[in-house]
């Protein structure tokens, strides 16, 4: 691991101390988007924290706010240096401050794509097997800043057929926010809500929670048996959210962090599995242009 990272960083190792806004950075702060409980988020990213500390030579801290807004505000306010955002969270950050962060890398699926899906699901024993069967039932979104847990299904599910809205009491008996992906999965599994939406790459086997995503995380954590659940809806492909870096970071810090994360899958597959929420081919470069359509959708939704 150290040899690989050392090789990747050899070109920047002799650079002058890192300066941002005239000051050398003294610590590096990574924000972890919500979606599962804080402790699991911290555990899954501890290896990245340690590698970052080793790579940059400064204390590195992980922050796991209760909701997506906590990470968005940290990035907008400049108190976080890096995060893996969903597409809608990136859109929210960009719309609040276009100069706050820059997308640098994106997770690549096992088939080489970088899309994922919002997945609608219910308990198998509920008899619900489609959006049609959800009429009059309780439907759960995750976090209001989630792409797959709110933005995309709130636009696409009403397009499924005439008469569907996301207002409580119209088509669905009730529409509520659970707070995050893990909460939605647990709520459906426990029968607290009838159906909900979460994210997955949509590749591999349903029994595994697909190859990556919140369902895979829940299976790995022992929270659900996928044989108890059934898929009832799937969105069109959504562009995977970017890893972003604070724009005002020194250039050499950005280069080192991009090299570290880009090489993580090859250098430490177990660490990459935890960071990427399941199986992937690691991370590849991405730019702002990939998210223009999601930014437009988010703008339209807020008007």
Distance CA 285, CA 237 (A): 19
* Domain co-membership, 181 together with 252: no
CA–CA distance from 217 to each of 49, 71, 81, 244 (Å)?
20, 20, 25, 22
Distance CA 303, CA 281 (A): 37
In the prediction, which pLDDT does 33 show?
87
- What band does 38 get if pLDDT is binned at 50, 70 and 90? confident
Distance CA 29, CA 249 (A): 12
Q: Is residue 18 part of a domain?
A: no
In the prediction, which pLDDT does 1 show?
46
Distance CA 64, CA 37 (A): 9
pLDDT of 119 over the 50 cut = yes
3-state secondary structure of 195: strand
In the prediction, which pLDDT does 66 show?
87
Last residue of a domain, one of 238, 265, 293: 238
Last residue of a domain, one of 182, 205, 238: 238
Selected residue with higher pLDDT from 222 and 4: 222
In the prediction, which pLDDT does 23 show?
53
pTM for the complete prediction? 0.84
- What band does 92 get if pLDDT is binned at 50, 70 and 90? very high
CA–CA distance from 134 to each of 69, 76, 218, 229, 251 (Å)?
29, 38, 23, 14, 51
pLDDT digits (tens, 9 = 90+) for 230-266: 999 999 999 999 999 999 999 999 999 999 999 999 9
How many domains does the chain divide into? 2
* Domain co-membership, 120 together with 269: no
Q: Is the dihedral of CA 199, 201, 204, 208 positive or negative?
A: negative
Q: For residue 217, which phi and psi values (nearest 5 degrees)?
A: -60, -45
Last residue of a domain, one of 189, 216, 238: 238
- What band does 37 get if pLDDT is binned at 50, 70 and 90? confident
- Percent of the chain scoring above 90 in pLDDT: 83
Q: What range defines the domain where residue 280 resides?
A: 27-110+240-302
In the prediction, which pLDDT does 302 show?
77
3-state secondary structure of 136: coil
Q: Is residue 6 part of a domain?
A: no
pLDDT digits (tens, 9 = 90+) for 97-117: 999 999 999 999 999 999 999
Query: For residue 222, what are the contacts with CB-CB under 8 A and spacing of at least 6?
Result: none
Angle between helices 38-56 and 251-262 (to 10 degrees): 120
In the prediction, which pLDDT does 58 show?
96
């Amino acid at each position: 691991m150290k040899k690989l990272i050392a090789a990747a960083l050899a070109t920047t190792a002799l650079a002058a101390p890192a300066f941002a806004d005239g000051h050398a950075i003294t610590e590096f702060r990574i924000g972890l988007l919500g979606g599962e409980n804080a402790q699991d988020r911290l555990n899954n990213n501890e290896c990245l924290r340690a590698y970052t500390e080793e790579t940059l030579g400064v204390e590195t801290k992980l922050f796991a706010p209760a909701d997506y807004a906590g990470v968005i505000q940290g990035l907008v306010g400049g108190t976080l240096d890096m995060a893996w955002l969903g597409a809608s969270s990136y859109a929210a950050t960009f719309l609040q401050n276009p100069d706050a962060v820059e997308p640098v890398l994106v997770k690549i699926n096992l088939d080489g794509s970088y899309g994922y899906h919002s997945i609608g699901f219910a308990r198998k024993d509920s008899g619900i097997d489609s959006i049609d069967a959800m009429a009059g039932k309780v439907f759960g979104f995750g976090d209001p800043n989630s792409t797959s847990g709110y933005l995309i299904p709130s636009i696409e599910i009403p397009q499924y057929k005439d008469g569907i809205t996301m207002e409580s009491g119209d088509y669905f008996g009730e529409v509520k926010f659970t707070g995050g992906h893990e909460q939605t999965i647990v709520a459906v599994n426990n029968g607290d809500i009838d159906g909900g939406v979460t994210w997955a790459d949509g590749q591999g086997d349903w029994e595994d929670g697909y190859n990556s995503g919140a369902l895979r995380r829940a299976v790995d954590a022992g929270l659900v048996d996928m044989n108890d659940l059934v898929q009832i809806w799937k969105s069109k492909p959504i562009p995977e959210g970017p890893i972003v870096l604070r724009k005002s970071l020194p250039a050499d810090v950005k280069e080192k962090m991009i090299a570290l994360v880009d090489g993580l899958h090859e250098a430490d597959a177990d660490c990459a599995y935890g960071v990427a929420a399941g199986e992937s081919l690691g991370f590849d470069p991405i730019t702002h242009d990939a998210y223009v359509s999601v930014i437009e959708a988010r703008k339209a939704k807020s008007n």
